[in-house]
Amino acid sequence: MSDAKLYLFPVPLSADTVQRVLPAYNTEILREIKYFIVENVRSARRFLKQCDKGIEIDSLTFFTLNEQTKREELPEMVKPLDEGKSMGVISEAGCPAIADPGADVVAIAQRKGIEVVPLVGPSSILMSLMGSGFNGQSFAFNGYLPIEKGARGVKLKELERRILRERQTQIFIETPYRNNKLIAELCATLPGNMLLCVASDITGERQTIKTRKLSAWAKAKYDYDKIPTIFLLFSE
């Protein structure tokens, strides 16, 4: 088996927070790697410079992996691993392979028997769960809710059922410009004694994590328009 490893590098969620949210060790590893699979080359270069101004960006090779990437392109992308060279995966924000295309590359590395090494960094999902006060022994992240009204209603009913029967915290996200509308919708469709936690701008300057009953959210003033936000539901 090759000694090459696939390292997964988390990226800050907010500007200028590298020192706040990443262990120094990540940068030590970063310095040794010459081949990167990145969601966006420009922001990956900026991230590398933030970690260490001394990194020689021009000596590095970048492969772009995003929603446009075809599955057939992936084997070519991981060739350095086949040749015994370690690679790094860098996503746009947060942890690679969590709600992001990195998982496909990890799956290929796993099939090849290559060692995969995830590194520590900020996850808005996990940090919002920590801050919510909700059940951390059983929880589910659901990504985006369905957009189509019928399917959305069915999904919300199913989440409610899992909260009540299984005591499973339910986590989801929304396109940021629809955040306020989503809160109003939850207030209108779910029982008023259900708890909603709204975790917004995690690790950013405007970070807030607020848990209230839906009956209280219905009367509260708030504005999460266009701010990256995570929603969590639970019941006492």
Q: Provide the pairing of β-strand 229-234 with 195-200.
A: antiparallel
Residue 152 binding a second copy, by CB under 8 A: no
Contact status: 77 vs a second copy (CB under 8 A): no
If binding is defined by CB under 8 A, does position 80 make contact with a second copy? no
- With respect to a second copy, which residue has the nearer C-beta, 43 or 208? 208
- In the stretch 91-120, what mask flags binding to a second copy with x, by CB under 8 A? ----xxxxxx-xxx-xxxxxx---xxxx-x
Rounded least distance, CB 45 to a second copy, Å: 22
Residues 6 or more apart whose CB falls under 8 angstroms from that of 50 comprise 12, 16, 18
The one among 33, 81, 129, 182 contacting a second copy by CB under 8 A: 129
Task: Show the site string, 180-219: x = touches a second copy by CB under 8 A, - = not.
Answer: -----------------x-----x---xxxxx--------
Q: How many CB atoms lie within 10 A of CB 150?
A: 8
**65 binds a second copy, rule: CB under 8 A:** no
Residue recorded with tokens 């086949």: 82
Binding test (CB under 8 A) with a second copy, winner from 77, 122, 224, 233: 122
Q: Which residues contact 90 (CB under 8 A, 6 or more apart)?
A: 9, 11, 36, 37, 38, 39, 44, 47, 96
Residue 171 in 3-state DSSP?
A: strand
Of 15, 13, 45, nearest in space to 30 by CA: 45
- 70: tokens are 């075809």
* 171 vs 182 by CB, closer to a second copy: 171
> Which region among 21-29, 36-44, 52-60, 178-186 touches a second copy (by CB under 8 A)?
21-29
Q: Cβ of 184: how many Cβ atoms within 10 Å?
A: 11
- Chain residues binding a second copy by CB under 8 A are 8, 19-25, 95-100, 102-104, 106-111, 115-118, 120-123, 125-143, 168, 197, 203, 207-211
